[in-house]
Structure 1
Amino acid sequence: MTNAPAPVPTSPLGATLVIGATGTTGSRTAAGLAAEGHRVRAASRHATAVPGAEPVRFDWYEPATHAAALAGADRVYLVPPLGDPDPAAVMLPFLRRARAAGVRRAVLLSASAVPEGGPAVGKVHQALPGLFDEWAVLRPSWFMQNFIHRHIHAASIRAEGVIRTAAGSGRVGFVDADDIAAVAVRALTDERAPDSDLVLTGPEALGYDDIAAAVAEATGRPVTHHRLTYEESRDRLTATGMPPEFAALLAGMDRAVAEGAEDRVTDTVQRVTGRPPGSFRALLARELPGGR
């Protein structure tokens, strides 16, 4: 009589479909899931390879890509289509299809400035609890990475040493995308889903003058914050090719920052992950070329 080999431990979960798996939070979420041994289907428009994950092609505007992407998935991380002022038009049909295909938990990336039922992705937030028994909406503040990676702020810092906003002296609890992803992994895989929206911030609220000073100190190059009016900000964003309605939405968010709407910090990252959120200066030291 021979002894049968011991079974190899496997994740009790099905696959997690990570939409936007090459983006700022999607790539980190996919990596975090894979590091914990979960099956990951990494969805992007070009089925780009992601370490530890199965690449799948997915385009919000091509429903023919949706069924194959959902195959074998029982949970999904949702990054809305970038720049779409009405993402619900494409997201809600997909979510109904996902539920029918066996997805039981959905985690949506929204924003701290967008409440349930509000503009843009706020409509998807409002619908999510009625579609899935297990769900969460992540509402992070502005990303710290906006000042060092692919973003209009990072580009203007590199080219001109300038950050332009209509936020005035308003402060924001900027959050590290690594912390957003860490919360996403917990929301996707913990035994109990949050079944709520989670406002995510860093450890302190900073004004754009503070951000400029920190980047200047880290790089040794002058960086300043130029204050725009709402109209100037809207027109500048539109000139980059952004849809006018979405440009107006973003400029309006800056105006709300100037009025104090984002001057807050939360304990959500600590509470969900068990560790404190990272600071902006720590991010600069870790990721910015020439940081110190």
Structure 2
Amino acid sequence: MSTPVSVLVTGATGTTGSRVADRLVALGHDITPASRRPTDAVGARGVRFDWHDAGTYGAALCGVDRAYLVPPIGDPDPALVMLPFLEQARAAGVRRVVLLSSSAVPVGGPGVGRVHALLADGLFGEWAVLRPSWFMQNFTGGHLHAESIREEGVVSSATGDGKVGFVDADDIAAVAVRALTDPVAPDTDLVLTGPETLSYREVATVMTQVSGRPVEHRQLTYEQMRDRLTAAGIPGEFAAMLAGMDRSIAQGAENRVTGTVERMTGRPPRTFRAHAERALAERGRRAGAEAGA
């Protein structure tokens, strides 16, 4: 195993942050799990952290030299709040930062792309930017797509027949841990995908086969998708950006696979079918345990 390090994990109760925290603890590293509603991890006490509250920065940065950063969700310009934190982190002795971004956001691009550019320009001595494709968990977890599948048997998008190299959050976390703990930092951005590309229609087909319940893909226009997201409570500017990403998928922007997960972890990424089977089995086990409680 690598030499133990001390890592701040922001978004520690979220989809990737919780997985990163669990893996780091299992490998014997010291972590500070940080989130707006902190919970303790095994062997680590959670601290409150809010990107929009600079008063929470000090406790989060105490005693750590590396950080896994999940940008503020729903903020169309996260650099405005992230830059002051990054400057404080550097002053506090953090020397390696691993940032969660997106395959849809290039360096210097909108949203977190500006933070990506700052890291690439040498804000920290060691760095990596994870640029995963769309999460497989969007169809099985707490995402709007997953809720719609469970409640209506429908997944709606403006992606048309465009394909995506959907990636499992467990694979993202595995790469993040290597980027945080390897003796030599990647010092680059890492585009993360699963082993195949699928259209949303093909995702619906797999969900139908795995769950035994009919699931269909409802094709929407950009405007319809934007309005659907806004109606679900997503801020208008961010909803427009997400709907625009769907439109980019329809134009082929995400139709790619990379070998990054296997190169970084030594194993191939999980397929969507394998993810769906595991997620539905876990949901069934939880339901059974709750019924027997």
TM-score by length of 2: 0.94
Aligned mates of 2:5, 2:262 — CA distance in 1: 27
The equivalent of 2:291 in structure 1 is none
2:96 is aligned with what amino acid? R
Counterpart code for 1:181: A
Residue in 1 that maps onto 2:92: 101
The residue type equivalent to 1:106 in the other structure is V
Which of 245, 248, 251 matches 1:253? 245
Instruction: Provide the C-alpha distance between the structure 2 equivalents of 1:135 and 1:145, rounded to a whole number of angstroms.
Output: 26
Letter aligned with residue 154 of structure 1: A
* Alignment counterpart, residue 212 of structure 1, candidates 204, 209, 214: 204
| Number of the residue aligned with 2:33 | 42
**1:5 aligned partner:** none
Q: Please list every run of 5 or more consecutive structure 1 residues that lacks an aligned counterpart in the other structure.
A: 1-9
Structure with max Cα Rg: 1
- Find 1:131's aligned residue among 102, 120, 123: 123
Please report how far the alpha carbon of residue 12 of structure 1 lies from its aligned counterpart in structure 2 after TM superposition.
4.0
* 1:174 corresponds to 2:188: no
| Deviation (angstroms), 1:89 | 0.6
Provide the residue aligned with 1:274 in structure 2. 266
Q: Could you tell me which residue of structure 2 aligns to residue 111 of structure 1?
A: 102
Q: Deviations over 1:7-52 (max 9, x none)?
A: xxx9744410000000000000001111110001000112212234
The CA distance in 2 between the partners of 1:175 and 1:278, in whole Å, is 7
- Give 2:287's aligned residue: none
Q: After superposition, give the CA deviation of every residue in 1:176-231 in whole Å (9 maximum; x if it has no partner).
A: 00000000000000000000000000000000011000011111100000000000
CA distance in 2, matches of 1:118, 1:84: 14
**1:49-91 deviations in whole A, cap 9, x for unaligned?**
2234331111111100101110000000000011110110100
Whether the aligned pair in 2 keeps the contact of 1:75 and 1:103 (CA below 8 Å) is: yes
Q: Distance in 1 between matches of 2:143 and 2:266?
A: 30
> Could you tell me the TM-score, scaled by structure 1's length?
0.94
- RMSD of equivalent CA atoms: 1.3
Identical-pair percentage: 66
Alpha-carbon distance, 1:286 to partner: 1.1
Where in structure 2 are the equivalents of 1:52-71 lying within 5 Å?
A: 52-71=43-62
Q: Which amino acid aligns with 2:89?
A: A
The question of whether the paired residues in 1 share the 8 Å contact of 2:137 and 2:169 is answered with: yes
